[in-house]
Amino acid sequence: MAKLEVRRLAGALGAEIHGVDLGRDLDPALAHQIRNVFLEHQVIFFRDQELSPEQFLRFAQAMGQPVEYPFVQGLAGFPVIIAVKKLEHERTNFGGIWHSDTTYLEQPPMGSMLLAREVPPFGGDTLFASQTAAYEALSEGMRKLLDPLRAISSSAKADVSKTREDRIASDGRADARKDYVASHPVVRTHPETGRKALYVNVAHTVRFDGMTEEESTPLLEFLYRHQVKPEFTCRFAWRPGSLAFWDNRCAQHNPVNDYHGHRRVMHRITLAGDTPR
């Protein structure tokens, strides 16, 4: 069995794993080791993984069930792998806002994987924020207020919709204009660790279930500021062959858009999740 070296990136979440070649077949014991590190640190990173699409898909299958993304077509022959890219002439980056992936689905993804193919000469880092740390830092009174609430997520919020426009124009699915709406707990209990996490995000959450947008806005805006405080975050600088795997059930992410005039190309796989409880 490979000897894994785990290096924490920050206090709240994030760890780099060294000593494994993901291009080789993973035996069940090694896959279990990696999965445990993932559950502990919420987002894990690997360096120097020059994976073919077949190898990338095999690793994803060892971690979960890959599923298609609802707005962008996959690569030829690999419908579950999409290209996340910003080209030299583009000003908006795909998903360039704090979010947890596709919370507007009834069963949002368990996790997502991103593999760097081309990176700019500077910038293009991704920020991650622990929503368990954010929840646990709230007062007891605020936790009691939030615990029974539900919130409505939509795929049509303007700020996030505009981050998809370039990719829908170039690689959009035939049904890419469909709107998705779902109701989920504001505080989600992780189905594997049992820890509670905030489960609203500025990109997709519209309002609390049973309340108007006007009534919901003050508390939601407080939560949006709170859940990405620096002490809840880590930052990852990409190199070609870098791979990130994050837990959408308890972590948010935000790709930094600070490399205008340069190209950034990543491959992403989304892993099926369950109904939030």
**Structure-token match 């080789």, residue found:** 24
Q: Which residues are catalytic?
A: 99, 101, 253, 268
Residue 8 CA, chain-centre distance (Å), reads 19
Output the CA torsion sign for 41, 257, 84, 120: negative
* Distance, CA of 263 to CA of 87 (rounded, Å): 5
Domain residue ranges of the chain, discontinuous segments joined by +: 5-271
* Distance, CA of 89 to CA of 261 (rounded, Å): 6
pLDDT digits (tens, 9 = 90+) for 251-274: 999 999 999 999 999 999 999 999
**Above pLDDT 70, what percent of the chain?**
92
CATH match of 5-271 with 3.60.130.10: yes
* Distance, CA of 277 to CA of 103 (rounded, Å): 13
pLDDT of residue 86: 95
pLDDT digits (tens, 9 = 90+) for 101-160: 999 999 999 999 999 999 999 999 999 999 999 999 999 999 999 999 999 999 988 666
CA dihedral 74, 63, 154, 12 (to 10 degrees): -130
> What's the rounded mean pLDDT across residues 40-55?
97
pLDDT of residue 3: 79
* Distance, CA of 5 to CA of 102 (rounded, Å): 32
Q: What is the pTM of this model?
A: 0.93
What b/e sequence results for 164-193 when a residue is b if at least 16 CB atoms lie within 10 Å of its CB, and e otherwise? bebbbeebbbeebeeebebebbbbbbbeee
Among 29, 167, 46, smallest CA distance to 95 is for 167
